[in-house]
């Protein structure tokens, strides 16, 4: 395929890089299979312990130099990375779509997120502000400043194989950190392609080798990052199970974690909702990326007075969905990432039926010409109860649960009564309902929206959630502070040395 050649990808690719230099990886290889057609795209080398040690050594030396580069100069490098991504947007977006299975529009949108975070980080490079405070002691001044941490380990997931890395790496770069990226073993070629793109910028600007590194591998590679005392911050995106393991390991060495884990997101549809608007938000939220977003809408909590009419609208809309090759822009829903995901989808459907769920739109695996990979499934809808065990569980697939409510307080309680706390939304034209939903007595999620769905966050706001979602915040707002350490400074410019709190210590 032309986009593979444009991105410098081959049948066999080295899997370890310190920026512009590549190592094959001495622990075997990963094969990347496309869920679109089941074909092998290419192979990528896996980092062994020796490769990992070499990368960390190079990154450690790079940090000593990179932290001294003025932040606006670091921002200029990031600006050029954004320009390089603009030039390769079509090719990289096509690869993301083909390797991961999301629609081409979503693949291109993911690359656009990378471009947007580069633009954000460029401005941020001149705004790494600290505060100044008045001292209680005469002739003293107090202020705080922010310094880079060092090596930032980034563990990313398959569903956003490039964007989430950029959320971390571009901010970390302007903060003066260096990054070591462990991409998902399910989408390694997307990471290799990104490294090829950025390598041109790094080389042109004489950026120290080791500022942006990639180490492909599986669980063992992630465990090396998590347990390494030389990596002060590990940013991990993935399942709650994975996040708990990473958090435990990093906490044991008193390191820092930034966790973006599971979501079980709900939209409350009020009797005062614009139902046409609610339909659009619910439909994309539930079936976008074939239900494989952490912000995917998995539950609809619908007021009993509009329940039947909205269910009818939604069922009709599901009947118009086109499932197929995501590179064909006329299709709405692509494949799941692999057959393990298909099996998890089928098990969730069976579990829902056993608990008493009623499927108003049946699910199942799609077969026939064009679906030979075995990874295509039907988006489905089930009427369920909030206390079903399967409803409490995140299933990374297009399964949507419907339930009724009577009062808004009841709906909010239903929404909050799950272990996860990432994204949430209410559809209402009632100002009082909207404000209650956004209040301290409302949604307990890190993201709470009014009259838009749960999916599709912008990079200007901090992204992340509470409870089993991990509590991390990435991307916009002041998320940059995760990648730096705060230092409080006091300067005495007088001729005396008074002590704080009026303490006397006369000699």
Q: How confident is the model at residue 501 (pLDDT cuts 50, 70, 90)?
A: confident
108-138, pLDDT tens digit by residue? 999 999 999 999 999 999 999 999 999 999 9
Is the pLDDT score of 1 beyond 90? no
pLDDT at site 505? 77
pLDDT at site 438? 98
User: Helix/strand/coil (H, E, C) string of 243-303?
Assistant: HHHHHHHHHHCCCEEEEECCCCEEEEECCCCCHHHHHHHHHHHHHHHHHCCCCCEEEEEEE
Is the pLDDT score of 430 beyond 90? yes
Give the rounded percent of residues in the chain with a pLDDT score beyond 90: 97
pLDDT at site 500? 83
**Token couple for 236:** 């991990």
Q: Any idea what DSSP says for residue 391?
A: T
Is the pLDDT score of 15 beyond 90? yes
Region 422-449 average pLDDT: 98
pLDDT at site 39? 97
3-class secondary structure, 70: coil
Is the pLDDT score of 157 beyond 80? yes
Is the pLDDT score of 51 beyond 90? yes
pTM: 0.96
Is the pLDDT score of 191 beyond 90? yes
Region 379-403 average pLDDT: 98
Largest CA distance in the chain: 92
User: Helix/strand/coil (H, E, C) string of 103-123?
Assistant: CHHHHHHHHHHHHHHHHHHHH
Domains annotated on the chain, with CATH: 20-29+46-261+470-487 (3.40.605.10), 265-450 (3.40.309.10)
Residues labelled catalytic? 260
197-224, pLDDT tens digit by residue? 999 999 999 999 999 999 999 999 999 9
450-462, pLDDT tens digit by residue? 999 999 889 999 9
224-272, pLDDT tens digit by residue? 999 999 999 999 999 999 999 999 999 999 999 999 999 999 999 999 9
Region 360-374 average pLDDT: 97
**Which residues on adjacent β-strands are paired with residue 42?**
32
């Amino acid at each position: 395929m032309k986009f593979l050649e444009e991105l410098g990808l081959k049948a066999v690719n080295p899997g370890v890089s310190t920026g512009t230099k590549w190592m094959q990886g001495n622990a075997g290889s990963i094969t990347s299979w496309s869920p679109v057609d089941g074909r092998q795209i290419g192979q990528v080398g896996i980092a062994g312990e020796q490769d990992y040690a070499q990368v960390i050594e190079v990154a450690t030396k790079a940090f000593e130099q990179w932290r001294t580069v003025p932040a606006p100069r670091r921002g200029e490098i990031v600006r050029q990375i954004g320009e390089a991504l603009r030039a390769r947007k079509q090719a990289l977006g096509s690869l993301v779509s083909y390797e991961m299975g999301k629609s081409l529009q979503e693949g291109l949108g993911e690359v656009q997120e990378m471009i947007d975070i580069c633009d954000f980080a460029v401005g941020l490079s001149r705004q790494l502000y600290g505060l100044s405070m008045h001292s209680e002691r005469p002739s003293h001044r107090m202020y705080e400043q922010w310094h880079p941490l060092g090596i930032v380990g980034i563990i990313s997931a398959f569903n956003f194989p490039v964007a989430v890395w950029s959320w971390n790496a571009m901010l970390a770069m302007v903060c003066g950190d260096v990054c070591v990226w462990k991409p998902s073993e399910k989408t390694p070629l997307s990471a290799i392609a990104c490294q090829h793109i950025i390598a041109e910028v790094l080389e042109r600007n004489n950026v120290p080798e080791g500022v942006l590194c990639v180490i492909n591998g599986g669980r063992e590679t992630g465990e090396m990052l998590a347990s390494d005392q030389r990596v002060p911050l590990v940013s991990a995106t993935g399942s709650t199970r994975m996040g708990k393991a990473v958090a435990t390991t990093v906490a044991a060495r008193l390191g820092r974690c930034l966790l973006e884990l599971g979501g079980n997101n709900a939209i409350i549809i009020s009797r005062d909702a614009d139902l046409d608007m609610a339909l659009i938000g619910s439909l994309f939220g539930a079936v976008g990326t074939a239900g494989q977003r952490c912000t995917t809408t998995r539950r609809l909590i619908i007021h009993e007075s509009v329940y039947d009419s909205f269910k009818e609208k939604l069922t009709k809309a599901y009947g118009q969905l086109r499932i197929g090759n995501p590179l064909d822009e006329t299709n709405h829903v692509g494949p799941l990432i692999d057959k393990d995901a298909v099996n998890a989808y089928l098990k969730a459907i069976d579990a829902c039926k056993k608990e008493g769920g009623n499927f108003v739109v049946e699910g199942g695996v799609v077969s026939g010409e064009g679906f030979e990979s075995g990874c295509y499934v039907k988006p489905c809808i089930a009427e369920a109860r909030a206390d079903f065990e399967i409803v409490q569980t995140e299933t990374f697939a297009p399964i949507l649960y419907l339930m009724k409510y009577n009062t808004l307080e009841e709906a909010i309680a239903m929404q909050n009564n799950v272990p996860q706390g990432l994204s949430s939304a209410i559809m209402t034209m009632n100002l009082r309902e909207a404000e209650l939903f956004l209040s301290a007595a409302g949604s307990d999620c890190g993201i709470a929206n009014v009259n838009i769905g749960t999916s599709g966050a912008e990079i200007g706001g901090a992204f992340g959630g509470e409870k089993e979602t991990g509590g991390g915040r990435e991307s916009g707002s002041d998320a940059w502070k995760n990648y730096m350490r705060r230092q409080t400074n006091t300067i005495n410019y007088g001729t005396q040395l008074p002590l704080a709190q009026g303490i006397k210590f006369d000699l």
